Amino acid sequence: MLGMRHTEFWSRLDAALGSASSRTWAEMFVMAELGSRTAQEALDAGVAPKTVWAACWKHLGLPDRDR
């Protein structure tokens, strides 16, 4: 997962939560690992998608294969 792109991040989040829910979750769920920001806020602030995905993966309790 070297240099994950935003499109890959959103594709993975869509797969995990469904495309109808992923954007809402990313705009509402605050994570300490992202500086008490949501995934969307972190991405907008320039945090690498790989870092944001790692926090989402952890909080969603996804399997290792989705890491």
Domain ranges of the chain: 6-62
CA count, 13 A, side-chain hemisphere, 54: 12
At 2, the pLDDT band (50, 70, 90 cuts) reads low
Quote the CA–CA distance of 20 and 17 in Å, as a whole number.
Answer: 8
pTM exceeds 0.85: yes
4-44 confidence digits (pLDDT tens): 999 999 999 999 999 999 999 999 999 999 999 999 999 99
What's the pLDDT at 59?
A: 95
